[in-house]
């Protein structure tokens, strides 16, 4: 055995431990599995492991010993141990080796854990989740991709590749560069799209993706999100913002209105950058079209024309934005809802983009499977109310990203004395 993968699911995190080596790792894997064994039969050489486990102090001690023993062979065991350190004593979790979980399975496992850790009843939780999610499960298939290790979307063999965005084949265009489905500058190191040619990759970088990177730049620096090379330092007209590591940042702020040594409660940071919000919308849609199956691209020819060219559409559907640290992610993630029914009152594809503590939910426009554009309040309301799980909170803001004019980017920061 040269490769082994073990997955964990808790209410706090869902890490994956991947062990790869040119050498045989059977002995290491056996020792790992014994940590979670409920029964070991030496006569039949059979280990029984129940998927539902509890983080006991004994288990934590064993994991610490195992991690220390093999840390030079498997460096990622540091994160493996860190996961168990983050769990409370006797907190339940699942361990499994199966392939990717469906959204339905994730909801069910979450309900089981929630019922074990709180006062909630499993059947009641299932009913509540059914009320919120059943309409989604009935109308949509859900697409997402793991962000804990590299995964490649599209044709693996370079000589057979056809660019999903310009339709040109290998030979007409090149596929030398690694194309990130979501901009690497936003922290995506793992989700790679094979069938994006170098011309389109360069086009997207130059024309649209710089706008969303600029738009999110303050959060990139504040949270220390590493882009292509390092955490970006922002140098604006009247400020410099820098991340020093260990969650420490500094702002150098210049203003004639500030008395020496006294920082105002609110400061306005003026950048050198300009953005057109419609290019941010285009970028989100480009990310979405990068992670769907190539067979689904046929439904978005007009969308691709809009993304690739300088054409700016008129009014676009609003983008819903939620700021909530309960959903915080260190890596950008995309979830897609692709309609599987003929219910044309619902958009054909909806994207949910998670970046740090912010969630952006948007309709991918111009699909040939849509009959309405979801710009009017009534059309948008029917769509939004059908996604009942989003309506659990009323903290959403609905923003118009239709503006095609590039405007200066300014940030406003409010300080509280600590």
At residue 142 the predicted structure's pLDDT band, cuts being 50, 70 and 90, is confident
- List CB contacts of 167: < 8 A, sequence separation 6 or more: none
Residues 396 and 295 placed together within one structural domain of the fold: yes
32 inside domain: yes
Half-sphere exposure of 328 (CA within 13 A, CB side): 7
222 inside domain: no
How many folded domains does the chain comprise?
3
Half-sphere exposure of 248 (CA within 13 A, CB side): 3
User: H or E stretch including 306?
Assistant: helix 301-308
* pLDDT on residue 45: 76
311 inside domain: yes
Reported as a single tens digit per residue, the pLDDT across 337-395 is 999 999 989 999 999 999 999 999 999 999 999 999 999 999 999 999 888 888 788 89
Residues 13 and 114 placed together within one structural domain of the fold: no
Query: What's 184's DSSP letter?
Result: G
Q: Which of 118, 142, 166 is the last residue of a domain?
A: 142
The residue with tokens 């590591």 is 245
Contact 414, 266 (CB under 8 A): yes
Residues 78 and 108 placed together within one structural domain of the fold: no
Residues 311 and 403 placed together within one structural domain of the fold: yes
**DSSP state string for 73-124:** T-TTHHHHHHHHHHSPTT-EEEEE--SPPPHHHHHHHHHHHHHHHSS--HHH
Residues 6 and 82 placed together within one structural domain of the fold: yes
Residues 132 and 62 placed together within one structural domain of the fold: no
- List CB contacts of 236: < 8 A, sequence separation 6 or more: 269, 270, 271, 272
267 inside domain: no
* pLDDT on residue 208: 92
- Residue 190 sits at the vertex; the CA angle it makes with 187 and 191, to the nearest 5 degrees, is 100
* pLDDT on residue 283: 96
Residues 393 and 337 placed together within one structural domain of the fold: yes
The residue with tokens 């939910």 is 361
* pLDDT on residue 129: 64
Residues 22 and 89 placed together within one structural domain of the fold: yes
In the chain, what is the straight-line distance between the N-terminal and C-terminal CA atoms, in Å? 54
Residues 22 and 60 placed together within one structural domain of the fold: yes
Q: Which of 142, 172, 200 is the last residue of a domain?
A: 142
Domain coverage including residue 305? 286-407
Residues 83 and 110 placed together within one structural domain of the fold: no
Tokens for 188? 């995506």
* Residues of the chain by 3-state class (helix, strand, coil), percent to 5: 35, 25, 40
- Nearest of 158, 117, 149 to residue 12 by alpha carbon: 117
Mean pLDDT score, 71-97: 87
355 inside domain: yes
- List CB contacts of 210: < 8 A, sequence separation 6 or more: none
* pLDDT on residue 260: 58
272 inside domain: no
At residue 196 the predicted structure's pLDDT band, cuts being 50, 70 and 90, is very high
Mean pLDDT for all residues in the chain:
86
200 inside domain: no
Reported as a single tens digit per residue, the pLDDT across 261-297 is 666 788 888 888 889 999 999 999 999 999 998 889 9
Reported as a single tens digit per residue, the pLDDT across 324-339 is 887 788 889 998 999 9
Where is average pLDDT lowest: 61-75, 183-197, 230-244? 230-244
Residues 377 and 294 placed together within one structural domain of the fold: yes
Gap between the Cα atoms of 127 and 122, Å rounded:
9
Q: Which of 38, 69, 99 is the last residue of a domain?
A: 99
């Amino acid at each position: 055995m040269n490769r082994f993968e073990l997955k964990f699911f808790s209410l706090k995190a869902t890490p994956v431990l991947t062990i790869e080596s040119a050498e045989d790792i059977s002995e290491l894997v056996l020792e790992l599995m014994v940590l979670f064994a409920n029964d070991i039969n030496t006569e039949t050489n059979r280990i029984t492991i129940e998927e539902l486990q509890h983080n006991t102090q004994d288990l934590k001690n064993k994991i610490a010993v195992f991690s220390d023993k093999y840390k030079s062979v498997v460096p990622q065991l540091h994160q493996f141990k860190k996961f168990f350190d983050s769990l409370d004593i006797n907190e339940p979790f699942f361990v499994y080796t199966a392939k990717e979980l469906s959204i339905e399975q994730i909801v069910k496992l979450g309900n089981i854990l929630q019922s074990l850790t709180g006062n909630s009843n499993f059947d009641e939780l299932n009913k509540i989740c059914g009320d919120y999610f059943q309409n989604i499960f009935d109308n949509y298939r859900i697409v997402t991709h793991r962000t804990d290790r590299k995964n490649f979307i599209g044709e693996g063999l370079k000589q057979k590749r056809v660019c999903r965005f310009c339709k040109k084949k290998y030979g007409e265009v090149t596929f030398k560069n690694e194309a990130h489905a979501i901009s690497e500058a936003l922290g995506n190191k793992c989700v790679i799209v094979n069938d994006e040619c170098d011309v389109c990759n360069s086009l997207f970088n130059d024309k649209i993706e710089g706008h969303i990177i600029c738009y999110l730049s303050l959060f990139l620096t504040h949270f220390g999100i590493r882009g292509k090379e390092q955490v970006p330092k922002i140098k604006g007209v009247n400020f410099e913002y820098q991340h020093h590591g260990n969650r420490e940042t500094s702002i150098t702020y210049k203003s004639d209105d500030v008395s020496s040594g006294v920082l105002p409660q609110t400061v306005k940071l003026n950048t050198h950058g300009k953005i057109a919000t419609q290019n941010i919308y285009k970028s989100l849609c480009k990310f979405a079209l990068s992670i769907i199956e190539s067979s689904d691209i046929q439904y978005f020819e007009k969308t691709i024309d809009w993304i690739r060219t300088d054409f700016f559409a008129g009014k676009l559907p609003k983008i819903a934005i939620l700021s909530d640290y309960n959903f915080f992610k260190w890596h950008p993630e995309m979830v897609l809802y692709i309609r599987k029914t003929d219910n044309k009152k619902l958009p054909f594809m909806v994207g949910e983009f998670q970046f740090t503590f912010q969630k952006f939910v948007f309709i991918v426009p111009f699909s040939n499977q849509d009959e309405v554009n979801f710009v009017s309040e009534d059309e948008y309301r029917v769509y939004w109310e059908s996604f009942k799980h989003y309506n659990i909170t009323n903290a959403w803001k609905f923003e118009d990203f239709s503006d095609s004019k590039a405007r200066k980017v300014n940030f406003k920061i409010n300080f509280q004395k600590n």
